[in-house]
Amino acid sequence: MDVSRFRSLIGEPLINGDVENDWSQFESEIGVDFPADYKNFISAYGPCCLSDQLLLFHPKGEEGDWGLNLRDLIRNSTEAYSALVGGHPEMYPYPIYPQRLGGIPVGRTSGGNHLLIVPPASVDGGWEVLVDMGEWAHFEMSFTDFLWLALREELFVPVIEGDLSYEVVGGVTG
């Protein structure tokens, strides 16, 4: 899905849109080639909050409490999931990065739900979306298809509800 479609819902993107600069080093460091639709959206809209509920993280987002740095989110979330799974594996039916085909945290809601993208299980497959709401919701669709439907309230998943808004949180470094 072309990122320009989101302009009609949340307005003009406010970040550089430089996919190569934003992602090449990050992907090399963590050993994952993220899907193009996700990278295009995040590079255009940046570390942001949608509808005062969904926080989306950027690989060059500011670090610390005021930024939405994707590396920090992945590290913190995977450490937390690892500790939780050890005590209650029945509550975590999906592998989490860095496990093979593990979901990679890319966002979270103000209510503490996590949004993850899942690498394809086969060469012919596509990336998919998981939402951890205490219960798991699995969506066999791309990140931008999921986000488009969620913003339009066409999915029953409490990640975005109410008035649409877009706000950059922190900034992008380098």
Helix (H) or strand (E) holding 147: helix 143-151
**Paired residues of 129 in beta bridges:** 117, 139
Q: Residue 129: CA atoms inside 13 Å, Cβ hemisphere, count?
A: 23
Instruction: Give counts: helices (H), strands (E), the chain.
Output: 5, 7
Which two tokens mark 166? 């877009």
Report the pLDDT value the prediction gives residue 111, as an integer from 0 to 100.
Answer: 87
Hunting for tokens 């103000």 — which residue is that? 110
Report the pLDDT value the prediction gives residue 87, as an integer from 0 to 100.
Answer: 64
Report the pLDDT value the prediction gives residue 158, as an integer from 0 to 100.
Answer: 73
Report the pLDDT value the prediction gives residue 92, as an integer from 0 to 100.
Answer: 78
Phi-psi region at 52: left, alpha or beta (left = phi > 0; alpha = psi -120 to 50): left
Residues 4/9/12/17 CA torsion (nearest 10 deg): -50
Contact 131, 115 (CB under 8 A): yes
Report the pLDDT value the prediction gives residue 174, as an integer from 0 to 100.
Answer: 74
Residues of the chain with pLDDT under 50: none
Report the pLDDT value the prediction gives residue 159, as an integer from 0 to 100.
Answer: 79
Report the pLDDT value the prediction gives residue 49, as an integer from 0 to 100.
Answer: 95
Report the pLDDT value the prediction gives residue 16, as an integer from 0 to 100.
Answer: 78
